[in-house]
A and B are shown apart, each in its own frame.
Chain A
Amino acid sequence: SQQGEEDPQALSIQEGENATMNCSYKTSINNLQWYRQNSGRGLVHLILIRSNEREKHSGRLRVTLDTSKKSSSLLITASRAADTASYFCATGGPDNDYKLSFGAGTTVTVRA
């Protein structure tokens, strides 16, 4: 069964706007990762946040983690057409973290 669930399923924004997507999970985690998938391609790792961290930045990406609510958010600032992709959260459990559990993803479309 899927551990993570992303919200919304799809998001359409104008170039330059910010995009925010959320991920909720069910059980305790060791870390939470976000991946991007361009159409017809494999997944690419974006950022990882550990269970003892609350916020992390990487370029135009900002990730937050609230373990009390079992949720995470990914913010992409100043979006570009090249950010058009599907975004997936993946959780690594505390006991067996080489088995990542993926959500169904958020499809982001950035309009020029």
Chain B
Amino acid sequence: NAGVTQTPKFQVLKTGQSMTLQCAQDMNHEYMSWYRQDPGMGLRLIHYSVGAGITDQGEVPNGYNVSRSTTEDFPLRLLSAAPSQTSVYFCASRRQGRETQYFGPGTRLLVL
């Protein structure tokens, strides 16, 4: 199994541009989440999904959209990038009824 994969690994955007961060998992996990990690802070939850077609907001959802059309994929869309969205983004998944989360390698995003 590849586990949780994320693309791209690194991205530079200009303010106002939009983009989609990709996340996929091959473990058939029901739950998927997006976090951002900023220096000196823990991971903060952006959006999460408990199954295909079901998404909900986390702690810091503003400026981001998600959708979950399949169990495997959970893309994160930045609608109009801002410098405050410069961060490292992690996708994670877990099986329903189990607490352990599996994380992807992360996407480093720089917004100029």
Contact = CB atoms under 8 A, between A and B. Distances in A.
The finding on whether chains A and B are genuine partners in a shared complex, rather than unrelated, reads: yes
Contacts, number: 57
Q: How many A residues touch the partner, as a band?
A: 20 to 34
A92 B59 CA distance: 14
Interface in B40-85: 40-45, 48, 50, 58-59
Interface in B1-47: 4, 31, 33, 35, 40-45
Interface stretch (A13-21, A55-63, A100-108): A100-108
A97 interface: yes
B101 A45 contact: yes
B48 A43 contact: no
Given A4-B42, A88-B43, A103-B42, 8 more contacts: A1-B59, A41-B105, A42-B4, A42-B90, A44-B103, A45-B102, A48-B99, A99-B33
